[in-house]
Homo-oligomer: A and B are copies of this chain.
Amino acid sequence: MRNDHTHFPAQVYKESVLTPLFNDFKQHFYEELMDINYAHCVMLAEQKIISLEEAKRILAGLREIEATIDLASLEYTGEYEDIFFFIESELINKIGLDVAGKLHTGRSRNDIDITLYKMKIKGYLHGLIGNLADLVGSLLEVAQKHKATLVVAYTHGQPAQPTTFGHYLGSIIEILERDLERLFQAYRMCDKSSMGAAAITTTGFSIDRHRVADLLGFREPQENSYGCIAAVDYLTQVYSALKILFISLGRVTQDLGYWTGFEVAHLYVPNEFVQISSIMPQKRNPVPIEHLRIMASIVNGHCDTVINAMHNTPFTDMNDAEDPIQVVGFAAFSTAERMLRLFTELVKGLSVNEEKVQEHLAASFASVTELADSLVRAEGISFRQAHEIASAVTKELLEEGKILTDLEYERFRRIYATVMQREPQISMDQLSEYVKPDYFVAVRECFGGPGVNHLTRSLLRYEEQLDYYREELKGLLAQTALAEARLKEAVDSCLQYLA
């Protein structure tokens, strides 16, 4: 220690850490850093912590840097620890140390870093929310078109009941609208500026944290200054919300996989999404569905990486929540965006193979529960008796290799009479109605059910909800755009001072 003649940075540290950090910063954070510089400077002048003249020189210097900087060719030399110091040194070169040095009054790299992370993530959330709203929009369109198109609903992986494609999609839409809600909730946690926390404890200068928040498009400053630089729940919440979404989307993807399986074939994938084998002309591989699944898994993985990196770290300013992990998070967002866009278009291209659906509904006796239910209502008999009749009918038909719609009135009459010791009152037409899949669906006019009236009302509610979220997104985008305009105007007005 006494004889420490080494100098920072060690070659290995430069190569393994500082250079990658520098390149990441260039690519991801430069613009946000400049906005923070402008906003902080404007506030310092407004609070009279620096003079208007000083502010004017700083702002002009920053504008000049922006106009002339060549980021692409900038390479890490070790002369400046990072882009932050590089910009500061450029500013010093242009306007002198005495004034340039005042820009850093009442702030630190700590509050700057967390603030720009939040700005980036807010931007990514704008995109993601927009993409998700588009997906919901697509699903709604398809659901509207398929309000009455039958599909097979499963329990335990086996055909269970008929429903409609519109009803199935409705269930997905509902979840995704809850995801929109979760993403807005996560957004609000990021919408709190850390500027003014300085290193940890704010500053003795009379800065205005609300004004800086305002100029940077934040709804408000985050209060406790220690939390401003050390809390990571904005990160964990955002990436949890993302993971919740992609766990759900992955499950829908599994359905698509099964339904497009050769033997199942309930859904038809158009050629534009089908990879073909050169030798097997009949082979249609809906590979995009596999890619949806792996993309969802990768998003989930990156989200976990971000969240778990926080595990067992101390609560303090630490690199664990900084650039390297933020960049992993951005990769989650960019994979997420590709996945959502592909999903949105694929969904629009899908069509239901109604013949196959009918074939499997029939072969699986999927509508037999309704025969019993209908007998209860039409014959006034008890549930238990109705079930006995339906079971006997099914058993006989299965043994003869027949399907439910093959049910002959005579067979029904005989079984009914045996069980009930009297003749049935329903007509042959009624009987053949009771076993049809579309009748099964039609009678399910219940809140949240597939009956067309209720489904129509549900879809309407989803539309309204989607409109609501789209408005909310517009509001956030407007807040950001307004802040940008406000910042530009404040800078311009300062630059015109005494001019």
Contacts and interface: CB of A to CB of B under 8 A. Distances in A.
Interface in A196-245: 196-197, 199-207, 209-210, 221-228, 230-233, 236-237, 240-241, 243-244
A337 to B, nearest CB: 8
B171 A226 contact: yes
B448 A285 contact: no
Contacts of A167: 201, 224-226
A377 B278 contact: no
B158 A201 contact: no
Given A243-B240, A324-B298, A158 B283 contact: yes
A12 interface: yes
A382 interface: yes
Interface stretch (A55-63, A411-419, A438-446): A438-446
A174 B101 contact: no
Interface stretch (A3-11, A121-129, A420-428): A3-11
Given A390-B279, A444-B203, A1 B171 contact: no
Interface in A277-297: 278-291, 293-295, 297
A308 interface: yes
B309 A16 contact: no
Contact of A364 (B156, B282, B351, B461): B282
Given A290-B318, A311-B308, A210 B8 contact: no
B391 A316 contact: no
Chain A interface residue bracket vs B:
35 or more
B447 A156 contact: no
A391 B247 contact: no
A6 B271 contact: yes
Q: Is the interface of A mostly helix, strand, loop or mixed?
A: helix
A403 to B, nearest CB: 10
Contacts of A305: 297-298, 300-302, 304-305
Contact of A223 (B6, B319, B369, B461): B461
Given A178-B189, A298-B325, A444 B391 contact: no
A199 B367 CA distance: 12
A473 interface: no
B320 A293 contact: yes
A250 B301 CA distance: 18
A468 interface: no
A280 B369 contact: yes
A291 to B, nearest CB: 5
Contact of A291 (B230, B319, B360): B319
Given A10-B349, A12-B341, A175-B227, 7 more contacts: A7-B272, A154-B314, A161-B201, A174-B224, A254-B313, A261-B264, A282-B394
